[in-house]
């Protein structure tokens, strides 16, 4: 991080006067220090999680349905699934299959009938054949993850209904004690019942700990993961032969994939989901702490995470099966040289330029302005740091995050980020 002395200087300058006209980097009201593991009282004002106007994508779509400006068409084969994906711009290629019974509808989720998840940068949708409803999680800039259900029966007026029953699991330690998202990794028995695993997955976890309870399609060389493995006998075999079900490009040998829009559970989409979910939870935690006058080290953790400083490396090239990789890259904002934060690497790490694309989302852009500015300031300081500062304040070896890459990131952000802070605009940035 930036040095304590520099931090103090910045804070003093902002408290004395704000010459740029931007909101101060810190709240002027008293701040109470808390531990990162402490719960956040998100039901209190001004967060008021259960009340107030929402601006998340599902809420906005719902309002348009109520006003009859848009409609959901029912399909005899897929019900509302394909229509909702279209309306919320969720790509079918993002489909991921999970057979672990760690979600709603556990009685019908198993390796023969996995639940599928579709997602983009702001919205997540869960659906399983035979369920009465689909579940959605949608990111609101001030209130974090909002949960909804949509009845799957044909209706003249289909509506998304807000549901707080998800908070029983989605507001605990694994989601950072705020309403958030979960990616878990559990080896299961033949019925999808968890046996052992991990309750919180992020891009920091090595691949050999990921994707238990999930189907995975794609190639990954000699790297290992826990996907595609279920049943006690298979698990015992897997322990002596960890490559047992690795590098599978199809999973129809395990169940009937024709029940789903796609036969894929794309490896690259898995990698993106693992990054994105924890980032969303950190952004929510930082935003709620700021609104409530609380402060832990969540902001510092978020900055490191957005910069991928603790990302588990890839030791072999990876490739998916569904076309998700191409779809995702096409969504990226590009600078004058055609570079984007959504450009993949997929050889030694997830992305070519290590700053998260989530800085473009409403969840980040519309979070409390003071918190957003502090985060961008810390990122900017890292990207401009000299070698000694990288090592002393960030515990990063300069060769592991070279200046050439940092200069490209500075340029991409300078040309593509809306409401760019003045300090980023006025500093000359190399385009090399």
Write out the DSSP string of 188-239.
Answer: E-TT--EEEEES---TTS-GGGS-TTB--BSB-TT---STT-BSHHHHHHHH
* pLDDT-derived band at 28, boundaries 50, 70, 90: low
If 0-12 CB within 10 Å is exposed, 13-18 middle and 19+ buried, where does residue 165 land?
Answer: exposed
Q: How far is CA 224 from CA 215, 233, 268, 346, in A?
A: 14, 19, 15, 15
Contact 388, 40 (CB under 8 A): no
Please indicate whether residue 167 or residue 198 has the higher confidence score (pLDDT).
198
CA distance 142 to 25: 17
Could you give the CA distance from residue 186 to residue 51 in angstroms, rounded to a whole number?
A: 35
Cβ-in-10-Å burial (0-12, 13-18, 19+) of 195 comes to middle
Q: Terminus-to-terminus CA distance in the chain, angstroms?
A: 25
Average pLDDT, the chain: 91
**pLDDT digits over 379-400, tens only?**
999 999 999 999 999 999 999 9
**CA nearest to 317, candidates 225, 223, 243, 246:** 223
> Cβ atoms within 10 A of the Cβ of 430, count?
11
Distance CA 114, CA 110 (A): 5
Tokens 């704000």 belong to 18
> Per-residue pLDDT for 420 more than 80?
yes
Query: What's the mean pLDDT in 329-348?
Result: 97
pLDDT of residue 167: 79
Residue 425: per-residue pLDDT:
81
Adjacent-strand bridge partners of 96: 117
Beta strands, E only, 9-122: 32-33, 96-98, 115-119
Running DSSP on this structure, what letter comes out for residue 24? P
Phi/psi for 294 (5° steps) reads: -115, 160
pLDDT at 8 over 90: no
- For residues 252 and 215, give the distance between their C-alpha atoms in angstroms, rounded to a whole number: 10
Please state, in angstroms and rounded to a whole number, the distance separating the CA atoms of residues 325 and 421.
Answer: 31
The pLDDT value recorded for residue 111 is 97
Q: What percent of the chain has pLDDT over 70?
A: 92
Beta strands in 252-316 (DSSP E): 294-295
Per-residue tokens: 176: 């950072």
User: Residue 19 pLDDT > 70, yes or no?
Assistant: no
Half-sphere exposure of 193 (CA within 13 A, CB side): 5
Average pLDDT for 99-107: 87
Check whether 427 has a pLDDT greater than 70. no
Q: How far apart are CA 99 and CA 208, in angstroms?
A: 18
225: confidence class by pLDDT, cuts 50, 70, 90: very high
pLDDT class of 378 with cuts at 50, 70, 90: very high
Beta carbons of 231 and 110 less than 8 angstroms apart: no
Binning pLDDT at 50, 70 and 90, where does residue 252 land? very high
């Amino acid at each position: 991080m930036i040095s304590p002395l520099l931090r103090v200087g910045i804070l003093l300058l902002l408290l004395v006067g704000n010459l740029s006209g931007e909101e101060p980097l810190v709240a002027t009201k008293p701040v109470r220090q808390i531990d990162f593991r402490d719960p956040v009282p998100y039901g209190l004002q001004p967060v008021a999680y259960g009340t107030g106007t929402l601006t998340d994508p599902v809420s906005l779509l719902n309002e348009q349905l109520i006003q009859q400006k848009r409609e959901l068409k029912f399909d005899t084969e897929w019900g509302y699934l394909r229509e909702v994906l279209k309306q919320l711009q969720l790509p079918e290629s993002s489909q991921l299959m999970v057979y672990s019974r760690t979600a709603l509808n556990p009685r019908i989720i198993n390796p023969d009938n996995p639940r599928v998840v579709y997602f983009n940068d702001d919205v997540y949708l869960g659906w399983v054949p035979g369920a009465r409803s689909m579940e959605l999680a949608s990111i609101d800039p001030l209130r974090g993850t909002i949960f909804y259900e949509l009845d799957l029966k044909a209706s003249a007026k289909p509506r998304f209904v807000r549901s707080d029953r998800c908070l029983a699991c989605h507001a605990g330690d694994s989601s950072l004690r705020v309403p958030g998202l979960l990616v878990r990794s559990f080896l299961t028995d033949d019925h999808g019942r968890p046996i052992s695993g991990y309750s919180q997955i992020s891009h920091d976890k090595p691949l050999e700990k990921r994707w238990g309870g999930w189907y995975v399609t794609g190639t990954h060389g000699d790297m290992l993961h826990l996907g595609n493995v279920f049943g006690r006998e298979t698990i015992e075999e897997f322990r002596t032969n960890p490559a047992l079900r690795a590098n599978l490009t199809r999973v129809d040998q395990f169940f009937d994939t024709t029940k789903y829009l796609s036969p894929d559970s794309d490896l690259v989409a898995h990698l993106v989901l693992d990054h994105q979910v924890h980032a969303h939870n950190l952004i929510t935690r930082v935003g709620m702490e700021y609104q409530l006058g609380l402060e832990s080290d969540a902001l510092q953790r978020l900055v490191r995470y957005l910069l991928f400083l603790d990302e588990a490396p890839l030791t072999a090239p990876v490739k998916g099966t569904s076309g998700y990789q191409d779809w995702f890259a096409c969504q990226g904002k590009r600078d004058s040289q055609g570079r984007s934060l959504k450009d993949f690497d997929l050889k030694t790490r997830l992305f070519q330029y290590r700053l998260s694309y989530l800085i473009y989302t409403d969840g980040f852009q519309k979070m409390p302005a003071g918190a957003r500015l502090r985060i961008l300031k810390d990122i900017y300081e890292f990207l401009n740091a000299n070698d000694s500062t990288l090592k002393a304040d960030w515990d990063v070896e300069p060769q592991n995050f070279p200046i050439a890459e940092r200069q490209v990131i500075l340029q991409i952000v300078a040309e593509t980020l809306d409401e760019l802070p003045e300090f980023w605009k006025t500093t000359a940035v190399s385009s090399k």
